[in-house]
Structure 1
Amino acid sequence: MSFRRSNAGISNYKRFFKVDYIAYVEGKTDLQYWESLFSIFRPQLRVRFEKKDGIENLKDIVEGVLHGEIQNVFVCRDADYRPLIGNDQIHPRLLRTYGYSYENDFVTEEAAAAVARLIAPRPIDENFIKRAFRRYTFRLSKVGEAILRMDVSFAAVGEGLMSRKNPRDLMTGDEKSGYVFATLEAKQRYRERIKKGERGSIDFAPHGQVFPRYYCGHSIFFVFLTWCRAVVENRCGRPQNASNGVIKNHLLSHYNTLVRPATRDYMEAQLADL
């Protein structure tokens, strides 16, 4: 049986650390992301961040915040599919990512150029990288949009179409050439899935294009980094060693210039309301 403070204890927990708020996040990498955003958009707030190792461990705190039983905390979560399937819980102190998770923020031409510049063994033409990445994401989107919409629709009524644990799921390719969607396998999986039940009815119109914004963050970031490494190797030789963690830190440190304006504006407005 795990230890759990009372609602009053959680509400007053901030006093032990002499801060304005306690912010609960899902995991270690999420902690770095939310720390960065608070430092950018609300630097005057004194916030202590604590990770809870998964959304399941945040449910009781979320409920306490929603019902007014817990004060002085923020809950910082991945959006996942909640905004799309209509079960997004709205409260000023329940914060969420703009897309599926924070990794989706960086699937941009500017971020691709920043990663290429970081790992390239010699100077690389950033305009070429941006043009190439624009073409690549356009090609991915033509198939990815349809697959993602199907996955969301099936997930709304039970089992989805894709695995969110395997970043290579429904992808074909390799580390040398990058990855694209395996359309034949996707069609076969759809035929198998429809036998278990019809898709849920989802109105995607208010959300516009959902790929890559709501594609599984772990998976889209894997595809993104694989492409960056492949294009650098093809363009100017073997990439320099840089772990995914190092690359994520680099992207976070340049957040304002690497994410799309809509992403930045959404996150800034969300934190401004605190």
Structure 2
Amino acid sequence: MASGKYNTHTCDIRFWQALFSYYRPGHVYAFKSIGSKTAVKSIADRIVSGSVSNTIAVMDRDFEIVIGTALDHPNVIYTYGYSWENDCWSSNATYETYISITGACRVASQSIKSEMDALFLQFSKDIARAVALDGVLIQMASSFFDRENPENISL
């Protein structure tokens, strides 16, 4: 496993290192970015089958939950959203960025935090059906979303 081609300095690795440092302090991990989802999925399949141990596979969720192909194993970890980039821009992260940039008082800005939470929740509800349907369309080489021009939606 360790002898293949991989990178040790990617944005993906920094994201996962931060999560593991926060949620598993005191543990030592060697992070390797092996490139494609297909390669990570191959390792994850071997973890689930028991042929690989002492390894954790971490990957973007993509559409696994929508299409029912997510692997269920404690050493196979998915992002919460479609990708780790989506996970970075939660309501909390947006609020913390707002506080950092504006220097606003946390106590005085609780109404702004509540409004951000409500907007994120509503957006999640509004887009849920389109995302689920897009997961089905992706399997047929189609999509609602123009990935070259993400602001365009062809509904």
TM-score range, shorter chain: 0.7 to 0.9
| Correspondence for 2:22 | 40
- The 5 A counterparts of 1:94-243 are 94-120=76-102, 123=104, 126-134=109-117, 136-137=119-120, 140-141=123-124, 143-164=126-147, 166-170=149-153, 185-186=154-155
For structure 2, the residue ranges without an aligned partner over 5 or more in a row are none
TM-score by length of 2: 0.73
Structure-2 change in CA distance of 1:108 and 1:68 (3 Å): closer
Structure-2 change in CA distance of 1:169 and 1:84 (3 Å): same
> C-alpha distance in 1, partners of 2:126/2:42?
38
Instruction: Give me the identity figure in percent.
Output: 25
Given that residues 40 and 58 in structure 2 are in contact (C-alpha distance below 8 angstroms), is that contact kept between their aligned partners in structure 1? Answer: no
Quote how far apart the aligned CAs of 1:162 are. 1.5
* 1:90 maps onto 2:68 in alignment: no
Deviations 1:126-167 (A, max 9, x none): 335324424543553464233223212323444232134543
Runs of 4+ in 1 over 4 A off after TM superposition: none
Given that residues 77 and 96 in structure 1 are in contact (C-alpha distance below 8 angstroms), is that contact kept between their aligned partners in structure 2? Answer: yes
Given that residues 98 and 105 in structure 1 are in contact (C-alpha distance below 8 angstroms), is that contact kept between their aligned partners in structure 2? Answer: yes
Structure-2 change in CA distance of 1:33 and 1:46 (3 Å): same
Given that residues 48 and 73 in structure 2 are in contact (C-alpha distance below 8 angstroms), is that contact kept between their aligned partners in structure 1? Answer: yes
Instruction: Tell me the SS of whatever aligns to 1:159.
Output: coil
> C-alpha distance in 2, partners of 1:60/1:108?
29
Q: Which has the higher helix share?
A: 1
| Correspondence for 2:44 | 62
Where relative contact order (Cα < 8 A, 6+ residues apart) is larger, the structure is: 1
Task: Please give the root-mean-square deviation of Cα atoms over the aligned residues, in Å.
Answer: 3.1
> C-alpha distance in 1, partners of 2:16/2:121?
29
TM-score by length of 1: 0.46
| Correspondence for 1:51 | 33
Instruction: Tell me the SS of whatever aligns to 1:95.
Output: strand
Structure-2 change in CA distance of 1:135 and 1:38 (3 Å): closer
